[in-house]
Chain A
Amino acid sequence: MTGLVALLDEGRKVPSHRPVPRALVHEDTWVRAIVLLAAGELTLLSIWGDAGQVHMALLEPEDHRIAVLTLPCPAGGYPSIGQAHPPAIRLERAIRDLFGFEPMGLPDTRAWLDHRDGTNYPFLPVEGEGLHQIPVGPVHAGIIEPGHFRFTCDGETVVRLEQRLGYVHKGVDELFGGLPLEQAARLACRVSGDSAVALSIGFARAVEAALGINVPPRAVWLRALMAEMERIANHLGDFGAICNDASFTIILAHCAVLRERMLRAANTAFGHRLMMDRIVPGGVAVDLDPQNMAAIMGLVGDVREKFAALTKLYDDTASLQDRTVTTGILKPDLARQFGAGGYVGRASGRSFDARKHLGYAPYDVLSFEVPVLTEGDVNARVWIRAHEIGQSLGLIEQILHGLPTGDLMAQVPAASGEALTLTEAFRGDVLVWLRINGGHVDRCHIRDASWFQWPLLEAVIEGNIVADFPLCNKSFNCSYSGHDL
């Protein structure tokens, strides 16, 4: 019997929760789960607050079984996970800010998403001879989201980075409460605009699982088509931007053209460049006509040919690789401990991909590989993206060839239920937990992959020079909005 099943058996199962089990547990089971997390036998998927209780979602790394444990905390406190398992620390600080629950034993007592202390945030003390600090942000020099980075340096070398996030906290949890499903889907897709498709798929799948809806196959396949187009567009943008941060602008210029063509194809085919609001609970809002199928097929061939030349150029340019190889190394142990998803995990030996390992439709019948490297440097994260673009192009061809005919939408009843889904966005797995009451959202928790990637960026920059931070940062490309909620 696996550890997760044993934990579930100790609790009381909640029958309305789908497709993975949830159990109400006592404190001793909760603490046993923390011990298993700290021992690396389970991976933390998320922890979130709810009315009078906290939930933690766990993944069994071997067989990819998922379960939710719920601990009632009527007195307002619960045993902290973060005290033994650091990946939980920021999530628990957020729970304290948003729900007022006290994670008992949590070593970090500072607020996280709540910025009422303004500019008096107590950064961790740093001591040493000849150290200086560089404060950056929240308003950055480029066209990017806001956050604060506090670098402590010895000469040019960064000895510590401390992040302060939460600047774009928009009260998403609060907004979800009571929303009708259609409006909630619009909100879910705007939790992080660059992952709009993946987020709306995650939300729709959660609604459908909770209410027992069978989505028409054509809609499921069209969703995957949009998801792969979103993945390619984002990876192209990142590939170019990372090279640009090493001042190699020609690759950015060409990648930006390919990205633009992908967005235009999306706009022509589905009516929105970022494909926002095209995926709705029950199915999809738009169909794909034969003319646009042909256009996308043509674009796939073009991107494959042109991107191959760009990866060759990357591979042939020693001065560029001089900046990316051995820069910002994420050790496989840390990637595993934090359950790092996407290219961050896969460049450091953690192969988990929700499409492959959970096999949600239509990926269960499509053929693709999940590239994995172990070097963990910027270069490895660049190559994972390059390989994934190739895989996604292949997926699009399979989808266009095998696209089933039929309806686009199933009826969505005004019913009640609970569900948890994991969906693979371009930067990693997105978790959506949802409780629906009479056709309205009662509580929705969305955990972007960035939650577990941001802290790792603090680790990888250590010992690198300040000038390499943009490369490290871009190679992670974490979402601020997806994290700050």
Chain B
Amino acid sequence: MLKFLREGLRRPLTEPRPPVDPEFAALAASLNETAQRRLGHSLAIRQVDAGSCNGCELEIHALNNAFYDIERFGIHFVASPRHADVLLVTGPVTRNMQQALERTWRATPDPKWVVAVGDCGADGGVFAASSAVVGGVSAVVPVDLVIRGCPPSPTRLLAGLLSLFKD
């Protein structure tokens, strides 16, 4: 046990903040001034899986590991939509999750932002043609930011989330 505690005192594994992605910078610019002021430099995120294959969840999980350590940016995951500023939604949104996603969105207090994650969250991805799928996240709730990828890497997720802040 002591060995592991000592390990914590060594040089951290944490990597520098990812550079600003021009694609996200453009999206961030479209968020109005008030939104960015309200978000400040702290974000409470409620993650909602609305139908994903769980690949996106694995990479969102990775944001908490020592390499990315997302909490150092003031971003943390919360257990209830009532505590959240941002809904981080993976999809495609299935018919069977549509109602749960709508109710989660309604349970999140204003002001709130929705980030759609992954190619499926963007437009349904490889599942778009299915009759069991409604579509991308924006087919059900208004989306403010899209982070594409199948799945997006943790660095890409981090870059996307940081673009919600005003530098």
* CB-defined contacts of B104 to chain A, threshold 8 Å: 139
Give bound CA distance, A479 to B79, whole Å: 21
Interface digits, B132-165 against A, CB 8 Å rule (1 contact, 0 not)? 1100000000000000001101000000000000
Give bound CA distance, A174 to B57, whole Å. Answer: 24
Q: What's the least CB distance linking B108 to chain A, in Å? A: 11
**Bound complex: CA of A300 vs CA of B133, how far in Å?**
41
Query: Are B56 and A313 neighbours in the complex by a CB distance under 8 Å?
Result: no
Whether A23 is near chain B, meaning CB under 8 Å from some CB there, is no
Which of B4, B79, B80 has the most chain A CB atoms inside 10 A of its CB? B4
Q: A167-B96, A257-B67, A317-B1 are in contact. Are A143 and B53 (CB under 8 A)?
A: no
* In the assembled complex, A58 has its CB within 8 A of some CB on chain B: no
Name which residue of chain A comes closest to B13, CB basis: A257
Chain A neighbourhood of B4, CB < 8 A: 250, 254, 309, 313
Please tell me which stretch of A189-197, A398-406, A411-419 contacts chain B, meaning at least 4 of its Cβ atoms lie within 8 angstroms of it. A189-197
- Render A176-217 as a binary contact track against B, CB cut-off 8 A, 1 for contact: 000000010011001111101000000000000000000000
Query: For the complex, is B126 an interface residue (Cβ under 8 Å from A)?
Result: yes
B52 contacts which chain A residues (CB < 8 A)? 145, 168, 193, 481
| A480 adjacent to B92 (CB under 8 Å) | no
Interface residues of A in 117-173 (CB under 8 A from B): 118-119, 138-139, 141-146, 166-172
Contacts of B49 in A (CB 8 A): 144-146, 168
Contact indicator B94/A253 (Cβ below 8 Å): no
Min C-beta distance of B83 to chain A, whole Å: 11
User: In the complex the two chains form, is A190's CB within 8 Å of B130's CB?
Assistant: no
CB-CB contacts below 8 Å: B1-56 with A: 1, 3-5, 7, 13, 47-56
Chain B residues lying within 8 Å of A256, measured Cβ to Cβ, are: 62, 64-66
A313 touches B55 (CB 8 A): no
A175 at interface (Cβ–Cβ under 8 A)?
yes
Evaluate contact between A175 and B153: CB separation under 8 angstroms: no
Give the distance to chain A from B86, nearest Cβ to Cβ, in Å.
13
Docked pose: A171 CA to B126 CA in angstroms: 11
How far, in whole Å, are A449 and B94 apart by their CA atoms in the complex? 22
Q: How far is the CA of A144 from the CA of B50 in the complex (A)?
A: 10
Known pairs A139-B48, A263-B62; A145 contacts B54 (CB<8 A): yes
A316: CB under 8 A from chain B? yes
A→B interface (CB under 8 Å): 113, 115, 118-119, 138-139, 141-146, 166-172, 174-175, 183, 186-187, 190-194, 196, 237, 250, 253-254, 256-257, 259-260, 263, 267, 273-274, 276, 309, 313, 316-317, 479-481, 484
Subset of 20 A-B contacts with CB under 8 Å? A146-B48, A146-B50, A167-B94, A169-B132, A170-B92, A171-B130, A172-B127, A174-B132, A190-B55, A192-B53, A193-B56, A194-B55, A194-B58, A250-B4, A259-B65, A260-B62, A274-B55, A276-B150, A309-B4, A479-B54
Top 7 A-B residue pairs of the complex, sorted by shortest distance between their CB atoms: A193-B55, A171-B132, A171-B130, A141-B79, A256-B65, A193-B53, A115-B96
